[in-house]
């Protein structure tokens, strides 16, 4: 009986270690991007489920100090990496449209700004309520970075470089 318990415990440990290895090494573990299409100001569309290049999706609000403080750093990252990736800044549905438009006009950052007026984009990403919340989506549609709070710029920059080495 004791020998059987030891074998079962050993088997359980092997299964748990194998699962941990799979989810940390072989799987991105953060899931797939939702089937959301964003329309850029120039009329082009971006399918977040299958983007052509890495996309950093940033949920923000004009009333969020952290959101506003990280935008200049996001702009610097965009200027440094150029066309290797895109930034989609999604304003929350509770943010008054006029306030968002005024902020965007006063801060011409190199992002694609979109207003989530009905909350559908936030819902598609798992009912986002807190800002800032960011997701980095790989060209294969996998979410490879997710953070509630200010972006960790150094690792995100390195990850974008890994995802777009040809550019």
Cα gap 151→66, rounded to integer Å: 10
What are the CA-CA distances from residue 31 to residues 21, 28, 88, 111, 136 (Å)?
Answer: 16, 7, 19, 24, 11
The answer to pTM > 0.75 is yes
Render pLDDT for 46-89 as a digit per residue (tens, 0 to 9).
999 999 999 999 999 999 999 999 999 999 999 999 999 999 99
* Third-level CATH fold of 31-163: Glutaredoxin (3.40.30)
Render pLDDT for 116-157 as a digit per residue (tens, 0 to 9).
999 999 999 999 999 999 999 999 999 999 999 999 999 999
Q: How confident is the model at residue 1 (pLDDT cuts 50, 70, 90)?
A: low
């Amino acid at each position: 009986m004791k020998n059987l318990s030891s074998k079962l415990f050993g088997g359980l440990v092997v299964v748990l270690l194998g699962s941990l290895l799979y989810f940390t090494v072989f799987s991105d573990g953060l899931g797939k991007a939702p089937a959301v299409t964003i329309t850029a100001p120039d009329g082009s569309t971006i399918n977040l489920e299958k983007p052509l290049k890495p996309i950093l999706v940033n949920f923000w609000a004009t009333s969020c100090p952290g959101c506003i403080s990280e935008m200049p750093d996001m702009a610097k990252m965009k200027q440094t990496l150029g066309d290797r990736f895109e930034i989609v800044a999604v304003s929350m549905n509770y943010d008054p449209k006029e306030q968002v438009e005024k902020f965007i006009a006063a801060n011409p950052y190199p992002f694609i700004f979109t207003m989530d007026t009905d909350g559908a984009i936030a819902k598609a990403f798992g009912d986002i309520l807190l800002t800032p919340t960011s997701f980095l989506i790989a060209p294969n549609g996998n979410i490879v970075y997710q953070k509630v709070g200010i972006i960790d710029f150094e690792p995100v920059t390195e990850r974008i470089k890994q995802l777009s080495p040809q550019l």
